Homo-oligomer: A and B are copies of this chain.
Amino acid sequence: MEVNPILQNVLAPPVLFFLIGAVSVLFKSDLEIPAPLPKLFSLYLLLAIGFKGGIEIQKSGFSDQVLPTLSAAILMSLLIPLIGFLILRFKFDVFNSAAIAAAYGSISAVTFISAESFLDSQKIAFDGFMVGALALMESPAIIVGLLLVKFAAPKNRPKSRKMHLSAILHESLLNGSVYLLLSSLIVGFLTASSNPSGITKMEPFTGQLFYGAECFFLLDMGIVAAQRLPRLKNAGSFLIGFAIFMPLFNAFIGVFIARFLSLGPGNALLFVVLCASASYLAVPAAMRMTVPEAKSSYYISTTLGLTFPFNIVLGIPIYMSLVNTIIPLSPL
């Protein structure tokens, strides 16, 4: 693995702004992006990703690769939480294990965006339907996590906390960020199919503005991640190790599946990044509501304080090297 792609990744504006945010915390600058401004950018990014993804899916139609890729994506988001759960159970109770595992099975949209920006800067093509994979991978991990709690939780869990399937589906599909991404995807699809002039009129907002808004949001993510990082100390070295090992492990599985699916390098990277990234929006929100026994500081500090920065700064170029090494090998 050369060092060049890492440096190239780090020298792109989104990653630089992320680092600026993180360094500001290190240096105790009082730079702050007060609430609810980060929410504005996170809503905007979800809306724009969804909308553009919907357009792309409508345009590209359901080619041969689409269905297998989307199925594999869902499969991974069901599988990863199970693996994660087994690993985490060595050290944590059912509640914490399930909540953390669900976060790693789900995805981080901003990590996905960063991978797209990386591919753009490397001039590597990828397909719009990968946003479909992004959207489809958010919820299943939540469902698996909650089912794990439902069936593995100690029998003396108070009655009020027994989860019904309807509550599980509600939390996984109607969580604000899941809902906005999915429904924006539908809006994009409908617009592309029945009102193409709407695409042009949305383009300055959802298209041109996107890169800058991404940078601004990553500036805040840098601040938030760096504030979270020190709290990991309390979480112990097991969890710290998990937060780095798990994305690498998932990426490794992911790259072989991508190869099996004969994905091109661009799509393969995005697939791998979806596997490797962990959720800090939908999953924590759902877990906070339904599994209050799990410590939010665990699943937030790992995903936001360590896995997210790792993926943004080092992970994406590492996964690219992985893709470039594994994919071109003689067929399986």
Contacts and interface: CB of A to CB of B under 8 A. Distances in A.
Contact of A191 (B12, B29, B47, B180): B12
B13 A175 contact: no
Interface stretch (A32-40, A80-88, A293-301, A304-312): A32-40
Interface string A188-220: 001100110110011011101101110110010
A62 interface: no
A325 interface: no
B47 A216 contact: yes
Interface string A167-183: 00010001110011001
A314 to B, nearest CB: 17
B36 A37 contact: yes
A259 B219 CA distance: 40
A27 interface: yes
A171 to B, nearest CB: 9
A27 B174 contact: yes
A117 B43 CA distance: 23
A212 B52 CA distance: 13
A20 B205 contact: no
A325 to B, nearest CB: 24
A121 interface: yes
Contact of A24 (B8, B44, B179, B205): B179
Interface string A6-44: 001001110011001001100111111111110110011
Given A176-B30, A179-B29, A204-B212, A195 B285 contact: no
Max chain B CB contacts within 10 Å: which of A40, A195, A202?
A195
A192 to B, nearest CB: 10
Contacts of A121: 195, 197-198
A180 B21 CA distance: 9
Contact of A176 (B13, B32, B184, B213): B32
Contacts of A40: 37, 40
B191 A13 contact: yes
A187 interface: yes
A191 B8 CA distance: 10
A179 B16 contact: no
Contacts of A117: 201
Interface of A: 8, 11-13, 16-17, 20, 23-24, 27-37, 39-40, 43-44, 47, 51, 117, 120-121, 170, 174-176, 179-180, 183-184, 186-187, 190-191, 194-195, 197-198, 201-202, 204-206, 208-209, 211-213, 215-216, 219, 285
Given A17-B187, A204-B209, 12 more contacts: A8-B194, A11-B191, A11-B195, A20-B180, A20-B183, A23-B183, A30-B285, A31-B176, A47-B215, A120-B201, A202-B211, A205-B209
22 contacts: A8-B194, A8-B195, A11-B190, A11-B191, A13-B195, A16-B187, A16-B190, A16-B191, A20-B184, A24-B179, A27-B174, A28-B170, A29-B174, A29-B175, A31-B176, A34-B36, A36-B36, A37-B39, A121-B195, A121-B198, A201-B212, A202-B215
